[in-house]
């Protein structure tokens, strides 16, 4: 083996023994560093994945939603106007929707109630898939799917958030207070798939008949209408025609819905930026502390090494390896822990603040989306400054005479 390689081995061996000599200090340093990387990486993974997830799910939302307006407020949509919408040139399909909110005073939570508008029998005998959106474009994920449950009058299907909150499940009954004051007891026939819990956590599905009875809505009214347009580039044109033919209505195109969701997630992302900034600040303080100087013991040790014949470059190399080992270990541990935290354990650290609303927090595993650019940014934000911060004071100490380094510190 060449002397150069042997020398590198000696330096690395000495570095490792150096790290182990200050076990408590270095372990504390590593733990703090890992924690900061963990927070930064969790923030990055979480915001990126939640936005990605939401945009994929919401790609399946209707192209146009038409609402009736009365005095500028959303009102019930007359069924007779559905035909007017169908007659607009370029419209592929129009479906009516019945949906609303129900406040459960028992658990102080708001539920979203919905009647499934389209029920498609699948090829599999005995299984039925219910899709909420009328857009069956196979490139997009349905809002939610359900297998094997037939929704009949007197029954309902609930989201996982509700099931958790009320500790109920399939076969249980759930009481509702109808608009006329009577109590409706509906039997739960299933819970919604957790695949898209981000948007279905607080959702309840019930038949049209039960929905109208619960809220006292006449048969000639629905909540709103959803439309599919033959040519997506004509969406704005169709929306303009709707405005013209039904002046008291409001067409909402998908892009607007996506924009709204995007702004909500951006707002939540903003909260993450606050956490992110705090973690970056902690890191800066930590790196500054490291950069501001070496302990008397470390200076003395550098003095001894130089006195016995180590070159400045050997000492710097040793300290570089020391910094690199700590920062790389912390970086990889932090990133791996953040990955597990966000994608396997459902981000318990920041979940309550960032997802869902009311008291129904979604509980679902985010699909892992990792952006290489983000990981690289994180690497350059943490490993590089720390390693540099380790080298600077070492360089300062290693370039002074060994005699001075030893004299000023003593034994």
Partner 1 sequence: MIELVNVRKVFNAGNPSEFSALNSVNLNIAQNKVTVLKGPSGSGKTTLLSIVGCMSRPSAGRVKLNGREITSLPERFLTDIRRKTFGFIFQQPNLIKGISVLENVMLPAYPLGEKRSSLKVKAMQGLAELNIASKAASKVEWLSGGEAQRASIVRALINNPSIIIADEPTAHLDTKLSYRFMEIIEKFKSEGKTVIITSHDPLVYDAAIVDRVVNFRDGQIEGES
> Could you say whether residue 1 binds partner 1 (CB under 8 A)?
yes
Answer for which of 126, 219, 247, 309 binds partner 1 (CB under 8 A) is 309
In which residue are the tokens 């890992």 written? 34
Q: Which DSSP letter does residue 114 get?
A: E
24 contributes a contact to partner 1 by CB under 8 A = no
Stretch that binds partner 1, among 101-109, 110-118, 156-164, 395-403 (CB under 8 A): 395-403
Inter-residue contact 166 to 107 (CB < 8 Å): yes
Rounded CA separation 363/356 (Å): 9
Nearer to partner 1, 1 or 167 (CB): 1
Distance in Å, CB of 409 to partner 1, minimum? 10
Taking contact as CB under 8 A, which single stretch among the options 18-26, 170-178, 257-265, 373-381 is the one that binds partner 1?
A: 18-26
Query: Are 49 and 368 spatial neighbours (Cβ–Cβ below 8 Å)?
Result: yes
| Site residue total, partner 1 (CB under 8 A) | 35
For position 374 contacting partner 1 by CB under 8 A, the verdict is no
CB closer to partner 1, 203 vs 406: 406
Q: Is 411 a binder of partner 1 (CB under 8 A)? A: yes
Residue 1 CB, shortest distance to partner 1, in Å, is 7
Tell me if 12 contacts partner 1 by CB under 8 A.
Answer: no
Sole binder of partner 1 in the list 102, 314, 363, 392 (CB under 8 A): 314
Assess 185 for contact with partner 1 (CB under 8 A): no
Least separation in angstroms between residue 312's CB and partner 1 is 6
Distance CA 50, CA 262 (A): 10
The answer to whether residue 408 forms part of the interface with partner 1 (CB under 8 A) is no
Which residue in the set 282, 304, 324, 336 belongs to the binding site for partner 1 (CB under 8 A)?
304
Q: Is 172 in the site for partner 1 (CB under 8 A)?
A: no
- Residue 403 binding partner 1, by CB under 8 A: yes
Q: Does 3 bind partner 1 (CB under 8 A)?
A: yes
- Residue 22 interacts with partner 1 (CB under 8 A)? yes
Q: Does 296 bind partner 1 (CB under 8 A)?
A: no
Q: Locate 78 and state its tokens.
A: 């007359």
For the chain, what is the largest distance between any 2 Cα atoms, rounded to a whole number of angstroms? 97
- Do residues 62 and 226 lie in contact, with contact meaning Cβ atoms separated by under 8 Å? yes
Q: Is-contact 383 329, C-beta < 8 A?
A: no
Q: Which pair of structure tokens corresponds to residue 64?
A: 């146009």
Structure tokens at 81: 């106007």
The region that residue 148 occupies, defined by phi over 0 for left and psi between -120 and 50 for alpha, beta otherwise, is left
| Neighbour-count burial of 398, counting CB atoms closer than 10 A to its CB (0-12 exposed, 13-18 middle, 19+ buried) | buried
Q: Which is nearer to partner 1, 3 or 216 (CB)?
A: 3
- Cα angle 199-367-266, degrees, rounded to a multiple of 5: 55
Residues 6+ apart with CB under 8 A from 340: none
Chain contacts with partner 1 (rule: CB under 8 A)? 1-7, 9-11, 14, 17, 20-22, 301, 304-314, 399, 401-404, 406, 410-411
């Amino acid at each position: 083996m060449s002397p150069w390689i042997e020398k590198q081995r000696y330096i690395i061996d000495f570095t490792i023994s150096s790290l182990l000599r200050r076990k408590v200090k270095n372990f504390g340093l590593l733990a703090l560093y890992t924690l900061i990387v963990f927070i930064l990486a969790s923030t990055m993974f979480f915001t990126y994945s939640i936005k990605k997830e939401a945009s994929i799910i919401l790609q399946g939302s209707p192209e146009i939603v038409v609402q009736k307006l009365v005095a500028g407020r959303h009102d019930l949509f007359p069924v007779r106007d559905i035909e007017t919408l169908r007659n607009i040139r370029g419209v592929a399909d129009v479906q009516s929707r019945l949906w609303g909110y129900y406040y459960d005073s028992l658990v102080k939570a708001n539920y979203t109630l919905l009647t499934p508008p389209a029920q498609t029998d699948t090829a599999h005998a005995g299984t039925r898939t219910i899709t909420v959106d009328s857009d069956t474009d196979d490139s997009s994920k349905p809002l939610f799917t359900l297998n094997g449950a037939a929704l009949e009058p007197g029954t309902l299907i609930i989201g996982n958030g509700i099931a958790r909150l009320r500790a109920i499940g399939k076969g249980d009954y759930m009481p509702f207070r109808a608009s006329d004051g009577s109590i409706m007891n509906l039997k739960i026939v299933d819970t919604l798939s957790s695949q898209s819990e981000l948007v279905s956590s607080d959702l309840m599905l019930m038949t049209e008949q039960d929905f109208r009875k619960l809220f006292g809505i006449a048969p000639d009214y629905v909540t709103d209408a959803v439309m599919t347009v033959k040519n997506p580039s004509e969406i704005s044109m169709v929306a303009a025609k709707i405005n013209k033919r039904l002046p008291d209505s409001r067409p909402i195109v998908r892009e607007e819905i996506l924009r709204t969701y995007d702004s909500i997630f951006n707002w939540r992302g903003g909260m993450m930026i606050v956490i992110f900034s705090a973690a970056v600040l902690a890191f800066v303080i930590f790196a500054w502390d490291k950069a501001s100087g070496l302990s008397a013991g470390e200076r003395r040790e550098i003095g001894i090494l130089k006195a016995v014949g180590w070159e400045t470059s050997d000492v710097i190399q040793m300290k570089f390896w020391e910094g690199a080992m700590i920062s790389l270990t912390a970086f990889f541990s932090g990133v791996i822990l953040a990955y597990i935290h966000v994608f396997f354990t459902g981000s318990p650290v920041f979940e309550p603040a960032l997802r869902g609303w009311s008291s129904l927090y979604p509980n679902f595993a985010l699909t892992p989306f990792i952006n290489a650019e983000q990981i690289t940014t994180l690497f350059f934000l943490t490993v590089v400054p720390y390693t540099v911060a380790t080298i600077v004071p070492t360089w300062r100490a290693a370039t002074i005479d060994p005699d001075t380094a030893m004299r000023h510190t003593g034994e």
